[in-house]
Amino acid sequence: MATAVVEPRIRGFICTTAHPAGCASNVNAQIQVARAARSDRTNGTAPLRVLVIGASTGYGLAARIAAGAMYGAGTVGVFFERESSGTRCGTPGFYNTAAYHRYAMESGLVSANVNGDAYSHEIKRKTVELVASRLGQVDLVVYSLASPKRTDPDTGETYQSVLSPIGETYVGKTIDLNREVINEVTVEPASDEGIRGTVGVMGGDDLRQWSEALLDAGLLADGARIVPFSYIGPALTWPIYRSGTIGRAKEHLEGTTKAIDGQLRSSIGGRAMVSVNKAVITQASAAIPVVPLYISLLYRIMREHGLHEDPIHQMVRLFNDHIGPGRTPALDGEDRIRLDDLELGDAVQREIDSVWPTITTENFRALTDYDAYKRGFRQLFGFEVDSVAYDEPVELEAEI
């Protein structure tokens, strides 16, 4: 057993440490939200069996928590996290997973984990074997991977994603997270190779490989659903996001999902559909120009309107309204679930459009919820969590 006092080592959108107790407290808070959302509709249903690919942070973690705490689901989680080693702490996702696994064990729920490169055939094979032995089949697959690069296991080619506009140079307002000032950012358009690389990482090819592996192994139950996560956002962020390289990859993901949907309908009476989720604080989104400032403003406005949702609230709504047992999902014209409906509401976006041009270094803290954004970012790593004694040594090892 190894204990140490763990302090945050943060610069900009990078943090190299994680606090085990803080991460566990975050997970426990999400569990309480999900348990409070139980209702007559979540009791008495057939046991739910769920595979979450990208299960250790953000929306993937919240989906696993919602499934387990609301429905008593047995879950298999796939992720790529660093365990603790001696006095070196593990990653946040490692401690998040340990906290959920502990809850599941105490609650008599099936909880099994696969730690490794989810893009590889090896991890897919391990997952297939684990699903077969622990769950038999799955009723739901949640796909929530985020990574800057991917090696295609079929070709051996490694793809690298880029955060760039397409066609034209982007010039816009952003916040420098190191100096905490508002400045102008200029991002040159992506090359064809950059576009191809981003689609190779964040598009639908890996999702297709996962669905094929599960279908070939007979692990998708009759009527099973596959739900990958995506984001669209408002017109304000489109040049750097939806109309840029990331958006091109998301379009590929959505197109692939439609093809998988047709296959599932004909083979097992199942469905595949994208869930378009709300903008939230993640380490990945913090690296995208414009987005941290946009989220800081969005959070302030949505909280004032009583509309704010963290990932666990979004996932509770996803299960309650769309993909829980017996639910019929409400889809848009592109067959997508739209959990971003509150974010993109007219009143919220009108206020964002009104305030955005006026934001400066001198007033951004007053006009946005930046300090809450900053705290939320630190909380991703288990820091600045209420009731955690950060000046005391904490156990670094954990079981997953």
284: three-class secondary structure by DSSP: helix
Type of residue found at 107: S
The count of other CB atoms within 10 Å of the CB of residue 6 is 22
Q: Which residues are catalytic?
A: 241
46: three-class secondary structure by DSSP: coil
Report which DSSP code applies to 323. I
The count of other CB atoms within 10 Å of the CB of residue 239 is 21
Residue recorded with tokens 């091109």? 248
Tokens for 25?
A: 């407290």
Give the CA count within 13 Å in the CB-facing half-sphere of 18: 26
Backbone φ, ψ for residue 257 (5° rounding)? -60, -40
| Burial class of residue 299 in the structure, from the number of CB atoms within 10 Å of its CB (0-12 exposed, 13-18 middle, 19+ buried) | buried
CA distance 221 to 157: 33
- How far is C-alpha 296 from the geometric centre of its chain's CA atoms? 18
CA distance 315 to 311: 6
* 8 Å CB contact between 15 and 282: no
